[in-house]
Structure 1
């Protein structure tokens, strides 16, 4: 997947010289005091590189299963979904919320698998230092292609029960992926209910996986 295409995906779907390369791949991690913050992102990028190296020669479902733990560990999908849905979340019963979360999780993982399906020598870099956003911390990372400009991705990290996970991704340090997603979801919910959103996400999962995942 080319740099411009990945940039479009990250907008709409809406992840130092002292850097030391991780032994398992091209993920670079500069020394810092934020290891608890960096750990889930390091695992995510290691998983993404593995998925890219596996490529389309490896069945989609197999790449999905391999990447799923890294996505689960890096993102607070419940919080992201709740913010994306907005006020309608409060009116949903628990069974509907559970089904929507399960579908949203599969959609999120499938999106990453479909869009990171080819390795072109990219490096993933976690930049040392963080900045505060209220009680959240923002970690800067970069996807560095062999040629061209790096793609900057900042992760808004939130701590729950001692674990840091991302609740948003900021392209170029400012464009919120969750905000873009919230706009998309609310358009669907405005013309229907939770079932309309679930149906839409399931259709996208099937399209992303070219039918390998039915829902």
Structure 2
């Protein structure tokens, strides 16, 4: 399960929490987005080695694109570096980040041992965002907490942040990517992401 705990690579700080959000049609839509992702992850885990990496990738790619605002995540990760890129660079880094995100999901959600996701509650966040709290229950270990930050600025609810047991992976990515951009520039970061994706694919050939 160590691989599973590292599966989410799209993390950003949530800000201070507010009161629990009342159940509304909009809140239900946000929760449904989380359910779509989690159902897809369980399906990928159930398929496990049967359909292989490519099968899990084909299954999860449209689900991740539907449920995540990856363009928002890229801009958040790069921060002030984003506006320094030209249009072609912005398009390329967004594409390779998306490819790496999908590859990482397909690589790590690869086996099933009776795990189940259970949505716990929803909490209102600043800037009209929602936090959907969920747990992954496991037969022989304690549950894993998954907290999804939802945003609707793109027109529909999308995941812009996932915290796994309170650990923010986005902070690590900001440090890692920022260091590369500062030292070697955007081409080096693009190469890094492409190499990570290629390494995942090679392991499954």
TM class, shorter-length? 0.7 to 0.9
Would the aligned equivalents of 1:40 and 1:70 in 2 still touch at CA under 8 Å? no
Which stretches in structure 2 are left out of the alignment for 5+ residues? Answer: 12-22
Partner of 1:198: 190
Question: SS state of the match for residue 72, structure 1?
Answer: helix
Q: What are the ranges of 5 or more consecutive residues in structure 1 without an aligned counterpart?
A: 15-31
Q: Which residue of the partner structure matches residue 176 of structure 2?
A: 184
Structure 1 outlier segments of 4+, above 3 Å = none
Q: Which residue of 2 aligns with 1:7?
A: 5
TM-score for both structures, normalised by structure 2: 0.86
Question: 2:95 maps to what in 1?
Answer: 102
Larger strand fraction of residues: 1
The worse-fitting range, judged by mean Cα deviation, of 198-207 and 32-41 is 32-41
The range that moved more, 106-115 or 163-172, is 163-172
User: RMSD value over aligned CA atoms?
Assistant: 1.9
Say which SS state the counterpart of residue 77 (structure 2) adopts.
Answer: helix
Which is bigger in relative contact order (C-alpha 8 A, separation at least 6)? 2
Instruction: Give TM-score scaled by structure 1 length.
Output: 0.82
Helix, strand or coil: the match of 2:61?
Answer: helix
Q: Give the equivalent residue in structure 2 for 1:76.
A: 69
Q: Matches of residues 67-146 of structure 1 in structure 2 within 5 Å?
A: 67-146=60-139
Larger mean Cα displacement after TM superposition, 61-70 or 137-146: 61-70
Among 33, 50, 53, the residue aligned to 2:46: 53
1:210 to 2:168 alignment: no
